[in-house]
Amino acid sequence: MPGGSIYVQRDEKFTGNSAQWYYEKYWHEDARSRQRLRAVKGVIALAGAFWLAMRLDLTGAVFYALGAGLAAAGLDWYLSWRSYRATAVWRGRRRGELVTGRLLRRSLRGHRVLDGRAIRGQASIDHLIIGPGGVWIVDNESWSPDTEIATYGGRLFFGEKYGTAVAKPLVETAAAFAELLTRETGIPVQIGTLLAVHCGQLPRRGLVAAEGVTLAKPRLIARLVRRTVNQVLTEAQIEVLARTAARELQRVG
């Protein structure tokens, strides 16, 4: 294969045929247009602030105007940068499980977070969380920025596609994890299923729940875990479940 390797599988995210490649190409090509528009916004803010300062007879009107112009340009740059950075996982520039893992450990005091776990020979998950309010599995996914994630009639949709193919394996994996932990510990376990969405259009409140799975932005996952009580676990039960999971669940990745 010209320019490639027979030993390394090509990642479609970095080829000229992928949506990610075109997204980055057009983003960089549009840089000058964004800069011109940013300058226009800064000048408008500068002129407006100067006019207002003069009308209010404020001393140092020029400094107010310069500050407003720089603030407007800076805000426009930040919003543009944040929009681009939000696609990093989808573009293959960041690993979603690492992003979510850091957020979980930073926010979930009193919880055990195990990364990259699987029942031998079955599907794996990115994070297993065990805490006072119960047990959760968390996986990470990313779709193109224009993919609308919504529910209709109790069903999950990604754009015009049904989401059952994404939700069903997660629900089945949660059931398998719960069965294993219950059998090995004697503690009846119920597992909540969460999906961290790194790119894609979620509703304004940032989460969607359907077909047994709750989808949310990564920053909201820890908040959902803290606020939701699937079952009440004592510190001793949390310890037993965490040790059993570490022993019985295969580490992947």
> pLDDT 10s per residue in the chain (253 long)?
333 333 334 455 545 578 888 888 888 999 999 999 999 999 999 999 999 988 888 888 889 899 999 999 999 999 999 999 989 999 989 999 999 999 999 999 889 999 999 987 777 899 999 999 999 999 999 999 999 999 999 899 999 899 999 999 999 999 999 999 999 999 999 999 999 999 999 988 889 999 999 999 999 999 999 999 989 999 999 999 999 999 988 888 6
**In the Cβ-directed half-sphere of 185, how many Cα atoms lie within 13 Å?**
23
Q: What is the pTM of this model?
A: 0.83
Picking from 151, 161, 128, 150, the residue whose alpha carbon sits closest to that of residue 241 is: 128
Picking from 97, 99, 71, the residue whose alpha carbon sits closest to that of residue 85 is: 99
12 secondary structure, DSSP code: G
Give, rounded to a whole angstrom, the gap between the first and last alpha carbons of the chain.
Answer: 28
Rounded Cα–Cα distance for residues 60 and 64 (Å): 7
Lay out the sheet containing 149-152: strands in order across. Answer: 149-152, 155-158, 161-162
Residue 18 tokens read as 């992928």
Cα angle vertex 125, ends 92, 193, to 5°?
110
Q: How is 50-77 classified by DSSP, letter by letter?
A: HHHHHHTT-TTHHHHHHHHHHHHHHHHH
Rounded Cα–Cα distance for residues 157 and 163 (Å): 5
